[in-house]
Copies of this chain bind each other. A is one copy, B any other.
């Protein structure tokens, strides 16, 4: 193996930023060399600036990092940046980094719907990765931007991929029960969620619908099946649970669909990428699974867990429940897998 890529995290002090860092600790291909955040945190130790830490903490030497500002100049030591920036600043900052030659892997939604920016969930649409070449050419950038999808769409599309490949999809309806960490930190006030549900997450349904079609289409054309999402916040820490109803392209038994999921291997599994879960889809036979607390860490938080595959009398298709870790598969972990994919395809160097 060649030398490790040097990487930095933008927006390193929020919940997804910290998740990026914790997944990069000990990574075989990537070495974290810097952490950057908004001017408010600049110059502080990461230790003081982080708003949230995982239970297991972070290594001392990383907590001692001085927080850099969001400028390509300051992060010259890195080749690759992972962006956990909020959408309102991500748009501009990420472009600056891409122009300056960085490979930018972003969790922000700002550029996801740009025609020449791939929304990449590697088991689903690894073939979209090559869009970065078109992007570079068109924009005359030496770097590029690759985005990962919205957390809910990441989980959904991974579960839909073997269905699309094996049976075709005419229609998808999805109703979600999403975890608190999806709103970041401090995020949802406790008074709003104890003994309660919030049946609304701003912009979420549009993202799920749009990004799913973009990912499941060809690089140049979104998929044409119908899709509708209803998104709700419930009182779980991590792990988005989604009830999915699918009208298939051709008749199939639920057991056939479950089997297609079980044997499914994506490009990351075939390439043996370090963060690729094996298998990417865990199919449960017990009728009361998946459950967020029990199943969200499947495959290190990178697998999705499917259960309750059954006939759907509403669409004459199948219905099932799928769970995935929203800040790992649905955010930082997906972005890191994207970077691994582009490294394996020699699209970053």
Query: CB within 8 Å of B: which residues of A?
Result: 15, 52-53, 55-56, 171-173, 175, 177, 180-181, 185-200, 209, 226-228, 230, 232, 234-237, 241, 243, 245, 287-295, 297, 307-308, 312-316, 319, 321
Contact = CB atoms under 8 A, between A and B. Distances in A.
Contact of A197 (B200, B241, B315): B241
A313 B235 contact: no
Contacts of A297: 55-56
A293 B195 contact: yes
A228 B308 CA distance: 14
The 8 closest A-B pairs by CB, nearest first: A228-B314, A175-B175, A186-B189, A230-B243, A200-B288, A175-B243, A196-B293, A190-B190
Contact of A308 (B195, B196, B199): B199
Contact of A245 (B198, B230, B295): B230
Contacts of A292: 195-197
Contact of A191 (B186, B209, B228, B308): B186
A241 B197 CA distance: 8
A94 to B, nearest CB: 26
A204 to B, nearest CB: 12
A177 B177 contact: yes
Contact of A313 (B197, B228, B294, B308): B228
A82 B175 CA distance: 36
Interface core residue of A56, A171, A307, A313 (most chain B CB under 10 Å): A313
Contacts of A197: 177, 234, 236, 241, 291-292
Contacts of A243: 175, 199, 230, 232
B195 A192 contact: no
Given A190-B193, A191-B237, A234-B235, A228 B200 contact: no
Contact of A232 (B53, B177, B191, B200): B177
B198 A291 contact: yes
A294 B196 contact: yes
A312 B228 contact: yes
B185 A191 contact: yes
A227 B311 CA distance: 12
A52 to B, nearest CB: 7
A135 to B, nearest CB: 29
B228 A198 contact: no
Contacts of A312: 228
B237 A232 contact: no
A101 to B, nearest CB: 36
A196 B239 CA distance: 9
A87 to B, nearest CB: 19
B321 A230 contact: yes
A155 to B, nearest CB: 14
A313 B209 contact: yes
A44 B235 CA distance: 32
A324 B245 CA distance: 23
B226 A313 contact: yes
Contacts of A314: 171-173, 226-228
Interface core residue of A52, A175, A316, A321 (most chain B CB under 10 Å): A175
Contacts of A200: 287-288, 308
Interface core residue of A181, A232, A290 (most chain B CB under 10 Å): A232
